[in-house]
Amino acid sequence: MMIEGKRAVARVRLRPPPHEHCATHGRKGLLTATLLALLLSAPASAARLPADVDGARILAADSEPGNWLSHGRTYDEQRFSPLDQINHHNVDKLGLAWTYKLDIDRGVEATPIVVDGVMYTTGAASIVYALDAKDGSLLWKYDPQVPGEALSQGCCDIVNRGVAVWKGKVFVGTFDGRLVALDAASGKEVWSVDTVLDKTKSYTITGAPRIIKGKVLIGNGGAEFGVRGYLTAYDVDTGAQAWRFFTVPGDPALPAENRAMEIAQKTWHGNNWVKWGGGGTVWDSMAYDPELDQLYVGVGNGSPWNHAFRSEGKGDNLFLSSIVALDPDTGDYLWHYQTTPADKWDFTATQHIVLADLEIDGTPRKVLMQAPKNGFFYVLDRRDGKLLSAKNFVPVNWASHIDLETGRPVLTKDADYLDGSPKVVMPSFLGAHNWHPMSFHPGTGLVYIPAQETAAGLEAQKAPLFIPHKSVVNLGLEVPDLPEDPQIEASIRAAWKGRLLAWDPVKQSAAWTQEYVSAGNGGTLATAGNLVFQGTADGRAVAYSADKGEKLWEMAVNSGAMAGPVTYTVDGEQYVAFMVGWGGAFTHIAGPLSLSAQVQPEARVTVFKLGAKSTLPPPKAAPRKVPQPPELTASAAQIAQARTMYNGLCGSCHGLNAVSGGVVPDLRYLGKSKHAQFKGALAGSRANRGMPNFSSILSEAQMESIQQYVIKRTLDLRTQLEATRDQTPQRHGDNK
């Protein structure tokens, strides 16, 4: 059954005149009389203390569009701004207003919060910055001092997706799992709690907290490292735990902790997942409907990926890959919708959740929308989680379609690597859409998705190989093989495509698209100026017309821009801010396929306004000589073995086949002096710099053979460059 095309219920003109800025575009349903009464009791905006934000103010966010008060700007997380001073007529006059260099040149994924002229944002290693939003001057900085050894215990770079603010405090989740409340005026710690349930496991926090009715909500990451996922609510004033919702069951030998776990337990088999963690981490998306008083949470993939090892190949494994609705006061389960039952492809449902009111088949609906990794765009009725429609937004091969009667995907055999043979799966584990936030424009009725086409070969392990180590991922799969041949590598890279997709959620079809040279492009921002802003993997900030997708402006920003941009005003002037800094999952996991040859890591806040003329410093230069490595002594057979070991243990940070994504050092550039320290580094000498200690799982001979593989790859690179008579290396690493 196809859903017939109808536009969004609450239409707005694309460019309302300035006096209409306060209109509650497209969120009539969220502003009931009760809520309005709450809003009217909110204090006036004059002479506020720093970060003087509460629920009433967030609910009335449309009455002060010059601020960006919470992660998705509003609780419905539409990332739509009613500002229109910058619009499709004048956006080509945007220039650089200011830029602020962040401390660590690694992946930047934060959405800044802007309140009354102050920007609160984060960089790598969970460092928080408070900046004057008008000129970028630093007001204060907070470094949570994440220990070096903790920095290696995450899958996808040491990123952070931003802070939340509430009544004079700024809240950040740190990479080592703390939730910290800071004084918004000084950046000094007010309280700090350790959210990690089990310190023997690699729990991380990369997501932005959300705050609902005086409770700070934070989940965690680490599914690939074997954790059990949960979401916790803490009191904003004291940090006292209010409630905790587990996403997967605990040990089946023990009684279920609550009703949700009773429901979930029936969908798991055996007890293997207890050892492997189960997964289901809540590492990014949340949204809130104040009228229904429902909190929506996106849940991640299972641990291990291999469903046969995780659950004897049986059962849906709730609440993996699900959208779960909870009571925000108690954390009680309300309903769920599972996007990928029995997931075995890392198809998380942690991607951005957007709430809107749409008219579907002539009926106004309160919907929840998500474009998760699995490549289907879902429209649910958010009152009860009923599936209204679903359609793939990129080519997929794991399911033919979603059955609207059952709400379940109809699987194909093409991606079933558990049937005895390896398979090429589309989308890959990086997803058709990842954490890069999408936006919804109530005027055009379109959702702007940073989509991508990727594929990956997956092969089940014959027998479970479980390595109990905090820095080792256990997937139950052979590491996806990527041939070393540079031409094959280039052809796969070319097949991984990025695309900005303007998706009509009612028609379930694309209104327009913009193609990119690479996957991994940035989140989007829609504005009432008929604009969509997006950063790109190849280092540009771009604006398109929201209705037609015409490119109207672009500017180079020195590095890949992945985060969701925001817009705000100071003294009546509109600004657009891009957090820039290449890195993240793409560079870590699929280094050779990312754009690391062209794009250097360089972390900055980069802010634009009309008529501004500031300039960025020149981008970092990449080319370096490839050094002469120590002698290659290993045989071809030893190298082949070492390659498997390298890709399994080192590849997820230093890049498959020793081709780094450019953020973590490319080991092919190690000179003789660094090679002298190679085994020491594997044995923990650089643990305080984020290099794991592998001495408990690697023998000295194994360390030596991994080193031999790196030497061999350096020689490969030298040969390759000599063949092209070009001593300019293709990639960049840090071997100072």
For Ca ion, the binding residues (CB under 5 A) are 301, 346
Q: Which amino acid is at 214?
A: G
Cα torsion through 10, 14, 19, 23, rounded to 10: 20
Cα separations (Å) of 94 from 574, 604, 611, 614? Answer: 10, 18, 6, 11
User: And the tokens for 267?
Assistant: 């969908």
Helix (H, G, I), strand (E, B) or coil at 14: coil
| Least distance CB 220 / Ca ion (angstroms) | 12
| Least distance CB 455 / Ca ion (angstroms) | 17
In terms of CB distance, is 346 or 666 closer to Ca ion? 346
- How crowded is residue 624: how many other Cβ atoms within 10 Å of its Cβ? 16
For residues 558 and 220, give the distance between their C-alpha atoms in angstroms, rounded to a whole number. 30
In terms of CB distance, is 231 or 577 closer to Ca ion? 231
In terms of CB distance, is 272 or 301 closer to Ca ion? 301
In terms of CB distance, is 452 or 705 closer to Ca ion? 452
23 contact partners, CB below 8 Å, separation of at least 6: 12, 16, 62, 82
For residues 642 and 381, give the distance between their C-alpha atoms in angstroms, rounded to a whole number. 51
In which residue are the tokens 């958010």 written? 382
Residue 535: exposure state from Cβ atoms within 10 A (0-12, 13-18, ≥19): buried
Q: Which helix (H) or strand (E) holds 386?
A: strand 386-392
Sheet holding 169-173, edge to edge: 164-166, 169-173, 178-183, 189-194
Q: In the annotation, is 346 catalytic?
A: yes
| Least distance CB 305 / Ca ion (angstroms) | 8
Q: Which residues pair with 173 in a beta bridge?
A: 179
For residues 68 and 61, give the distance between their C-alpha atoms in angstroms, rounded to a whole number. 8
Helices 700-723/636-649 angle, 10° precision: 100
In terms of CB distance, is 86 or 159 closer to Ca ion? 159
Spell out a b/e string for 275-304, using b for 16 or more CB atoms within 10 Å of the CB, else e. bbbbbbbbbbbbbbbbebebbbbbbbbbbb
Catalytic entry in 105, 346, 504, 547: 346
Which is nearest to 303 in space by CA: 382, 392, 201? 201
In terms of CB distance, is 229 or 662 closer to Ca ion? 229
In terms of CB distance, is 301 or 389 closer to Ca ion? 301
| Least distance CB 413 / Ca ion (angstroms) | 24
Strands (DSSP E) along 70-127, which ranges?
Answer: 80-81, 94-101, 113-115, 118-122
| Least distance CB 373 / Ca ion (angstroms) | 8
CB 612 within 8 A of CB 86: no
| Least distance CB 430 / Ca ion (angstroms) | 9
| Least distance CB 435 / Ca ion (angstroms) | 11
In terms of CB distance, is 224 or 538 closer to Ca ion? 224
| Least distance CB 707 / Ca ion (angstroms) | 30
Catalytic positions are 346
